[in-house]
Amino acid sequence: MEISAGILKETDVLLAAFAMGVLLLCAYDVLRVARRIVPHKMWLVGAEDLIFWIGSGVALFAMLYRENSGYIRGFVIGGVLAGMLLYNLILSAWVVAGSVFLLEKILFVLSRPLVWTARLLKRPVGFAGEKIKKLLRFLKKELKKFWKTVKMGICKL
C-alpha cells in the first residue's frame, strides 16, 4: 500500500501550517514578555498587536504561497489554529513565566552596579547640591541688591 504524492504534499502543508501556528504564538509570547517587563500604555499595546497581526498575515500568506501555491484550504487554517491552541495549552504559560523570571533576575543583577554607584555618590552629590543651592541663593540676593542700586542710580539721573 503506497501513499499518493498528493496526500504527502498536503501532509507537509498541514505540518507547515501547524508549525506556523506554533511560531506565531511563540512570537506573540515575546510581546507578552516585553509587556510584563516594561509596562505599556493601552494605545501602544493596540499598535503592537496591529503590527503583529499584519506581520502574521503576511507570514501566513508567504507560507501558503510557498507550500501550497497560495491556495487557502480549510485544513491549513485548522493546522494553524491547532498549532496555536496546543502551544497555548502546553507551553505558553511556562515560556512567558520562565522568560519573565529570567529577565527580571538578569536585569536585577545588571542594575546592581548602578545602585551601588548611586548609593556611593548620594552623599557627596547631595552635599555639593546643598552648597550650590546656598551659593545660588546668595548670588540671587546680591544680584537683587545690585539691580536695586542700578535702578536708584538711573532714577536719580
User: Which pLDDT score, from 0 to 100, does residue 64 have?
Assistant: 84
Give 7 or 34, the one with higher predicted confidence: 34
User: Which pLDDT score, from 0 to 100, does residue 73 have?
Assistant: 81
Encoded amino acid at 86, one letter: L
32 CB contacts (<8 Å, ≥6 apart)?
96
pLDDT digits (tens, 9 = 90+) for 21-58: 999 999 999 999 999 999 889 999 999 999 999 999 99
Q: Which residue has the cell 485544513?
A: 75
Nearest to residue 51, comparing CAs of 74, 30, 80? 30
d(CA 63, CA 74): 15
Lowest average pLDDT, out of 98-102, 111-115, 134-138, goes to: 111-115
pLDDT of 1 over the 70 cut? no
DSSP secondary structure code for residue 41 in this structure? -
User: Which pLDDT score, from 0 to 100, does residue 157 have?
Assistant: 66
Give 59 or 129, the one with higher predicted confidence: 59
**Please, what sign has the CA dihedral across residues 112, 117, 123, 127?**
negative
pTM to 2 decimal places: 0.68
Looking at every residue in the chain, the average pLDDT score rounds to 87
d(CA 131, CA 114): 25
Encoded amino acid at 130, one letter: E
- As a whole number, mean pLDDT of residues 83-99 equals 94
- As a whole number, mean pLDDT of residues 109-138 equals 82
Q: Which residue has the cell 493546522?
A: 79
pLDDT digits (tens, 9 = 90+) for 56-80: 999 988 888 887 777 778 888 899 9
Nearest to residue 96, comparing CAs of 29, 28, 37, 22? 29
Enumerate the H helices of the chain as residue ranges: 5-37, 42-68, 74-87, 93-156
d(CA 59, CA 20): 8
